[in-house]
A and B are shown apart, each in its own frame.
Chain A
């Protein structure tokens, strides 16, 4: 080994190690699908924008009491490892997601026009669990209509 090789070897080793560490992060960014859904006992309103929730996901909510679930908005996003990715699901509902320790951290905010969104709840779920088909949801009573519920459903993205 000549003097050039001896001097360059440590730098090459560091570069190779850095590439190995960086590769998984850039190669396969986790994606999630966030859906804002509405649980009700009423029939489907005459609104073409609303569609029924996927029956496979609907079946997972069999413990909940509502008869019908309609998707108001659905969006698939990448889950960044640094700055959280915001997803505006309605005028009043916003979430952000980020990857943290092999988990997807999900924060839900209440949004109001002209005011900063206020954090409502933070939760997280293992990425592997999502990839295995586990469904995560924030849910609660709707304030506008008695006896109905809202759900923010997070599943693995396509």
Chain B
């Protein structure tokens, strides 16, 4: 259904193979697929070529300032962050003290609400859980395929 109508699983396996992430059994399966399926072979070749080009043309990051100036900027930002943290730790006026508890309480309530609704059985939850899909239509061939991932 995807490019050349390989399955999602196959596309992911070929990508993982191109990145050298597969163990031996899965690697052998993909090698077999690439050997037998021209579309799979073309995809593998394209991924390998892209990877090579990206590695060869990756821009080098350069720092325009002198090394001392560059690090002094970082030191200034660390100092500013430490001062902000110190301000945050300053005692809060008693009148607004309870506000510190409000945000965590709202967070806990929100999580409880989500968990409660997720555990409730019924058609509403089933409707929410509809799978993602991709639809292919060919009017010329008179066919519509809804591919469920």
A140 near B141 with CB under 8 A, answer no
For the side of the interface on B, what is the size category? 20 to 34
Whether B6 and A65, one on each chain, are in contact in the complex, defined by CB atoms closer than 8 angstroms, is yes
Chain B residues, Cβ within 8 Å of A60: 138, 141-143
A interface, size bucket: 20 to 34
Q: A64-B5, A134-B143 are in contact. Are A122 and B148 (CB under 8 A)?
A: no
**Interface residues of B, dominant DSSP:** mixed
- Expressed in whole angstroms, the minimum distance between the Cβ of B141 and any Cβ of chain A is 5
Interface string of A119-140 (1 = CB under 8 A from B): 1111101000000111111111
Given A60-B142, A64-B1, A147 and B130 touching (CB < 8 A)? no
Task: Tell me the total A-B contact number using a CB cutoff of 8 A.
Answer: 82
CB contact under 8 A between A139 and B10, given known A63-B5, A63-B138, A146-B29: no
A97 in contact (CB, < 8 A): no
Give the complex CA separation of A59 and B147 in angstroms.
18
> Nearest Cβ distance between residue A109 and chain B, in whole angstroms?
8
Which chain A residue has the least Cβ–Cβ distance from B40? Answer: A65
CB–CB B131/A141 < 8 A: no
Within 8 A of A (CB), among B33-78: 33, 37, 39
- Using a CB-CB cutoff of 8 Å, which residues 119-149 of chain B contact chain A? 121, 123, 126-127, 129-131, 133, 135-136, 138, 141-149
**A132 and B145 contacting across the interface, CB-CB below 8 Å:** no
Q: Is B79 an interface residue (CB 8 A)?
A: no
Query: Are B148 and A138 in contact, CB atoms less than 8 angstroms apart?
Result: yes
A interface residue numbers (CB < 8 A to B): 59-65, 108, 116, 118-123, 125, 132-141, 146-147, 149
